[in-house]
Amino acid sequence: MTSSGQPPAPTRILLVDDHALFRHGLRELLSMEPDLTVAGEASTGAEAVAFAAAHRPDVMLLDVGIPGDHAATTIARTLATAPATRIVILSMFDEPTVVRELLGAGARAYLLKSVTRDDLVATLRSVRTDAGRIMLSISRESFEQVSDAGARILSDREVEIVSLVAQAYSNSQIARRLDITEGTVKRHLRNVFTKLGAVSRIDAVNKAIAMNLVSPEKPAVPRPRG
């Protein structure tokens, strides 16, 4: 309930898939959930980006194989104009390289089309309210490869610094905690931004969480006092 005693507005979802019959099935499925509503449909990346810019849906449910722009490009263009829209990938492809690329581009969830109805609905609800969590429904093998690849991207020191950034440490606090200079912290963060394709500290943390480098729930080290 909201502060006015009214139920919250339904989560508005944009369906993006080039198969009209599949979109129809999703619309029918979601119509049974009172807190979810289909705000629109698109069959290409360009249509999806235009709709998101004009209507700012809460969630975009995006198929990897849509015609036109690559899915990663569609994600980037969407977030440039509708940054609050959460991107959920719904795909037939259980490929670690695809998962890594799209999570790195800004997707908040990656689900296979074999996902259960309950898991799909739970994900659509979760991504709107929990911006710090990445949702995955892929094979164990793919998950392990995604995690292993992430571990090889950053050095141990870079992972340590991102972990501290995730706990809201400033550069000066990180420098004191690790007994290094603030300039060294900045250099490591520049490397992290480059390696992860991040544009901000929050973006770097989100991408590190997506690659299983940083836990959003269990801090790596204690915060300094004072």
- Tell me the per-residue pLDDT of 13-27, one tens digit each, with 9 for 90 and over: 999 999 999 999 999
Cβ count within 10 A of residue 12: 17
Query: For the chain, how many residues are written?
Result: 226
Chain mean pLDDT for the chain? 82
Q: Which residues make up the CATH 3.40.50.2300 domain(s) of the chain? A: 11-146
To which residue do tokens 């299983």 refer?
A: 212
DSSP assignment, residue 19?
-
Q: Which residues make up the CATH 1.10.10.10 domain(s) of the chain? A: 154-210
Identify whether the C-beta of residue 8 lies closer than 8 Å to the C-beta of residue 54: no
pLDDT tens-place string over residues 49-80: 999 999 999 999 999 888 888 888 999 999 99
What pLDDT, on the 0 to 100 scale, is given for residue 106?
84
Cβ count within 10 A of residue 27: 14
Q: Indicate whether this model's pTM tops 0.75.
A: no
Exposed/middle/buried for residue 116 (C-beta within 10 Å: 0-12, 13-18, 19+): exposed
Rounded to whole angstroms, how far apart are CA atoms 162 and 120?
Answer: 30
Topology annotation, domain 11-146: Rossmann fold (3.40.50)
Q: What is the CATH number of domain 154-210?
A: 1.10.10.10
